[in-house]
Amino acid sequence: MSMINYASREINCKLVYYGPGLGGKTTNLEHIYGKVSPNTRGKMISLATETERTLFFDFLPVDLGTIRGFKTRFHLYTVPGQVYYNASRKLILKGVDGLVFVADSQIERMEANVESMQNLYDNMAEYGYDLTRIPFVIQYNKRDLPNAAPIKDLQAALNPGWTVEDGARQKVTPDPSHPGENLIDKIGGDWVGHAAYHEAVAVRGDGVFDTLKAVSKLVLKTLS
């Protein structure tokens, strides 16, 4: 959960980038770090494993305004993708305010994506978090590759939707990023919600900040 620093007049929010190994989580953070002004970011910390790194840094966005007189500082984390680092992944999720799931669009990585998404749901449930009720955005990375799966297939596997039981949320909610698509819709008499998603080519920076802005806005909405 977000932490308030009254001395510095800052609200500290934790964003975690989750997903399968080598899917682009680290690339996202490195691109953001390289583009954010050095005056508004902290140091990038890397905890290396044998095959992957867990990265962390914080930055103070200058274009998102203040909330009740407080500036908002975001702390960005990645998690190790390999299954055998699940204890580390679970620990990093503690106190999360917003999540980005970075999926590898390559067809042969579909099973790894599904396994990682299920692992995310399981780990969140152990903390008592409901993934359908916290800021959550999916990024479909590596869209430039010739073996990238169609978005509709990725959506069907990773973002099929969940039942919206809260009456206050049972209303058609358009997806601002994808005209003609809805984040909440009525399907066969049931209200169904979907996570927002963005396409990306993280190695080029395409879609990286679109994803970050989307999850940041959702987090700020929960704070306001």
Domains of the chain: 3-159+195-223 (3.40.50.300), 162-194 (no CATH)
pTM attached to this predicted model: 0.93
Q: What is the 3-state secondary structure (H, E, C) of the chain?
A: CCEEECCCCEEEEEEEEECCCCCCHHHHHHHHHHHCCHHHECCCEEEECCCCEEEEEEECCCCCCCECCEEEEEEEEECCCCHHHHHHHHHHHCCCCEEEEEEECEHHHHHHHHHHHHHHHHHHHHCCCCHHHCCEEEEEECCCCCCECCHHHHHHHHCCCEECCCHHHCCCEECCCCCCCEEEEEECCEEEECCEEEECECCCCECHHHHHHHHHHHHHHHHC
pLDDT, one tens digit for every residue, the chain (224 residues): 677 877 888 899 999 999 998 999 999 999 999 999 999 999 988 877 666 667 787 887 766 667 778 888 999 998 876 666 788 788 889 999 999 999 999 999 999 999 999 999 999 999 999 999 999 999 999 999 999 999 999 999 999 999 999 999 999 999 999 999 999 999 999 999 999 999 999 999 999 999 999 999 999 999 87
